[in-house]
Structure 1
Amino acid sequence: MLLRSLKKLDVESGSCQKLIGLQDLHDCVDNLLLLPVAQALAKEQHEKWFNELLDGSLRLLDVCGIARDALSQTKECTHGLQSTLRRRQGCKMELSREVEKYFASRKVVKKAMQKALKGMQTKLNSKKNEDLAMVSMLKELEAVTLMVFESLLTFIAGPKLQSKSSSWFVVSKLVHPKRIACEGEEKDANEFEKVDAALQSLISHKTSKSDYSMHVQNVQNWMGQLESSIQDVEEVLECLSRRLVKTRVSFLNILNH
């Protein structure tokens, strides 16, 4: 029932809500692993199952670490670009160079996310067995955790850099939401997409000085929101990382009991 609830949460909620849901679920599982039945399973010729779960727990920690590193790198680049925007608003050439550096960093992050996502495609053994109900539940938890991490990595990677016309449409939607809404419904962009599109538009379009200043201000606003979003996810992800370590320690204790 808890796993079904989290799967529903994965579809309906944002990144932070998904991660908080995982925290609660891992807390419940940690309590379950302290029960005598968990110790008994390990003694009843089921060591191989717990060894697989132990390997899976390491995989989850690796993916969690990749996500945390990507968020940290993106936040650092975002902070640096914001400083440049504040200092050099009037120099478009200087800004263009700094924006290109930001996109280069984002490209590295995107590649890392794509590589991690590709490595997460391994299907877990979901064979049902009444005698191994707990093991099946733990494997399902691992699968759901990977599913949430997949969503998080996709969120961090953001979309591929749009064409100039597509980027301009996104920025126009952000600046003039009511006018664009009349042209048709569009899927809401996440913070990464908003910043990527706004920056690309900033360096790709010839505008008047007043319009350029307005675009710079809009970019600063979206980057501020992105930094805030990253900070929120980082804090929750750090707590979840501690839960994953605790679960791994529980598996080790069961095997060594």
Structure 2
Amino acid sequence: MATFNAFQAMQVPSRSISLPARLLHPTSLKIEEMFKKLKTWDSPSAAVTFSGIEAIQTGLIRLAELYACVEELFHSPLTQKALNNQQHVELVEEALDRSIGLLDACSNARELISSMKEQMQDLQSALRRRGGDYSTIETSIQAYINFRKKSKKDIAKCLGALKKIENVHLTNADHQYLFLVIKVLKESSAITISIFKSLLLFLSMSVTKSKSRGWSVLISKIIPVEKGHKVINEVECTEMALYSLQVQMRGNNGKADVQMALKKLETVDGSIRGLERGLDCLFRGLIQNRMSLLNALTP
């Protein structure tokens, strides 16, 4: 099983947006700067700074900032004039088609994260109130494992939906300024899809127990060393702790390390909350952008 690295999954477009000087305004410059930040975040050197959930959190934050800048661009007089032109209705409708796909993808990711948070909280409660009885913990662990298996199927469907969005192409505009706006929308959509893929692939990683080779194999899979840098998937680490706890409890030796598993859960739960906040901010940005496009179709 290959260990997931957020930077391996990300494929942020490398094209840069360079607007002619006579069309530049502060918002255009801010958008170009945001693209540069996202491109820098995806660079090999950035992998030394970020890994796992932290990397995706950073990507979501920067993506939300990008959409805030795009919203400013939508409200500029030049953009309003170009979008309100009846000759460009088809272009706006194409952008709307893609925007609804991105909203659905973000909504699905939010639901997945919310369900995962609930499962983790239930499991934490079981670990805290066990009272020496391991049966409740085993039941809760199994419920979490079953949820993870189902979520992998849901993630596969979400990835398929993202593939369909990629196939929704935006037509280039003849109008020079609108051409630049469409280019911004294309770049923003491509980056959004890449970050969603990164998030979904990260969450789909799971640990499989190896009866023949033991837990040392799991550790080597979860914490490999790539050029001296450890790449850690926090979700996998948590699953490893839960599988280990199951083995200990079934051994009936009364020495199951409940606190270690609880600590892992609390750590990843905090990170999941960070992803949830990032997705919430991004969702609001996507809604605002869609509303701006809808308003462009209103006479």
TM-score by length of 1: 0.84
Corresponding position of 1:8: 40
State the Cα distance separating 1:45 from its structure 2 match: 1.8
Residue 197 of structure 2 is aligned with which of 150, 155, 161? 150
Distance 1:242 1:255 in 2: 21
Gaps of 5+ in 2: 1-31
Output the CA distance in 2 between the equivalents of 1:89 and 1:10.
47
Q: Aligned match of 1:125 in 169, 172, 175? A: 169
Find out whether 1:164 has 2:206 as its counterpart.
Answer: no
RMSD (Å), alpha carbons = 2.9
Aligned counterparts of 1:170 and 1:220: Cα–Cα separation in 2: 22
* Correspondence list, 1:10-89, <5 A: 10=42, 12=46, 13=50, 14-42=55-83, 43=85, 45-88=87-130
Q: Tell me, in whole angstroms, the C-alpha distance in 2 between the residues paired with 1:252 and 1:127.
A: 18
Equivalent residue, structure 2, for 1:102: 144
Between the aligned partners of 1:126 and 1:110, the Cα distance in structure 2 is: 31
Please state whether the residue corresponding to 2:208 is helix, strand or coil. Answer: coil
Secondary structure of residue in 2 paired with 1:256: coil
Identical positions, percent: 31
Inter-partner Cα distance in structure 2 for 1:128 and 1:163: 51
CA contact (8 A) 2:82 2:88 kept: yes
The TM-score, its normalising length taken from structure 2, stands at 0.73
In structure 2, the partner of 1:252 is 294
Aligned-partner Cα distance in 2 for 1:93–1:185: 41
Secondary structure of 1:48's aligned partner = helix
Q: Amino acid of the residue matched to residue 198 of structure 2?
A: S
Query: What letter matches 2:101 in structure 1?
Result: R
Unaligned runs of 5+ in 1: none
Give me the whole-angstrom Cα distance separating, in 2, the residues matched to 1:201 and 1:146. 35
> What is the alpha-carbon distance in structure 2 between the residues aligned to residue 202 and residue 138 of structure 1?
48
Alignment CA distance shift 1:204-1:127 (3 Å): farther
Q: Check 1:167–1:71 CA distance in 2 against 1; reply closer, same or farther (3 A cut).
A: farther
Q: Which amino acid aligns with 1:194?
A: C
- What whole-Å deviation, never above 9, does each CA across 1:199-225 have from its counterpart, x for those lacking one? 112213565746x333x2111000000
Q: Which residue of 2 aligns with 1:236?
A: 278
Aligned residue pairs total: 248
Q: Which residue of 1 aligns with 2:28?
A: none
Alpha-carbon distance between aligned partners in 1 of 2:137 and 2:217, rounded to the nearest angstrom: 20
Q: CA deviation at 1:39?
A: 2.5
Deviation at 1:251, TM superposition (A): 0.5
